[in-house]
Structure 1
Amino acid sequence: MTAIQPGRQPTKISSRTLADLAREALRSGSIAAVAMAPFGLVFYLAGLDVNEYGRAVIQTFFGQASPGVRLGLFVVEHFLISWAASIPLLGLLIRFRRFQALAVGALYGAAFWFFINSLLLPILFNRLTPWQLGWTDIYPSLTVHVVYGVSIALTSRAFVDRHKFTLET
């Protein structure tokens, strides 16, 4: 893979760097997937709706499966999304100073929630947006996504330091 930087020659990204990125996405993404859960559980126990679309995807494709199978699929889905969503954030984090990483992570989590959970998914599932439903539908999911971004920013510091200049585009 080649990264083209304005005003510079293309930089070859090594297969070792890509493998390290994949490992870090699995590592930090797994930690963030687990870090989100207690926040989601607290909101759920408080009677607030969290992860509506995760459940909706599993119900849409595997609605006839037993509840135990659906729960297992839900956990797999949660980790797959967390791993995939961590890759762009890892690419962003190498471009910022260490003290900026937490803000970048929080903003990434909020932006992910805004574009995916508050706009794209309601359209795909023909549901009202959180904006139409009100603050109690906004803040639980938004909080969980901000926790996700901050978690990636915290847990990926060694990776970011190692690859500060190798993945920049």
Structure 2
Amino acid sequence: MQPKALLIESFRSGTIASLAIIPLSPLFNAAGLRIGHYGPKFAGLFFNDPQPWLLFVQHIVIGWVSALPLLLILLRTGARRQPMLAGALYGTAYYIAINSLALPMYFNDPLPWQLGAATVLPSLIGHVIFGAVIGWTSRRFVAHSS
């Protein structure tokens, strides 16, 4: 596996997965559920009043960065045999570590688990789908790089 090929795959599969979960936002919002809570807060660390285009770019870039560890897991472990399951489990672990613990603690917010299923499920579902999509889209890359 060459680092350049790994980065290209991270960009490719991370972009596809990031785009795949965008339709969830209006669906969950329409149902009155919380989704995308930390995007504006995180962007606000670097920009005053981040506009929607900037939040979109941030979403894609975070997708690239977030795809890389999963690709390494798929390449270096037996997880490559079930990449969608591995991706879904990665998405779950990512949600727990980052969105339900690290970000709420950093921003001094209540943990999603304290707010209930209506807060947990939308983001958890999005992260599970994100990981599963990376697992699915990277199958060929992982098979040829192993």
Match of 1:124 in 2: 106
Q: 2:120 matched to 1:135? A: no
Please show how residues 55-134 of structure 1 align to structure 2 within 5 Å.
55-64=40-49, 70-94=51-75, 95-96=77-78, 98-134=80-116
Q: Which moved more, 1:17-26 or 1:44-53?
A: 44-53
Q: Which amino acid aligns with 1:124?
A: Y
CA distance in 2, matches of 1:64, 1:154: 36
Cα deviations across residues 147-166 of structure 1 (Å, max 9, x unaligned)?
000000000011101111xx
Runs of 4+ in 1 over 6 A off after TM superposition: none
Deviation at residue 93 of structure 1 after TM alignment? 1.1
CA distance in 1, matches of 2:49, 2:95: 29
Aligned residues: 145
Match of 1:51 among 36, 53, 70: 36
Q: Are the structure 2 counterparts of residues 161 and 46 from structure 1 closer, same or farther at C-alpha, using a change threshold of 3 Å?
A: same
**What is the root-mean-square deviation in Å for CA atoms of aligned residues?**
1.4
Q: 2:34 matched to 1:34? A: no
Scaled by the length of structure 2, what TM-score is found? 0.93
Contact 2:73/2:79 (<8 A) preserved: no
SS in 2 for 1:118: helix
Unaligned runs of 5+ in 1: 1-12, 165-169
Question: Which structure is larger by alpha-carbon Rg, 1 or 2?
Answer: 1
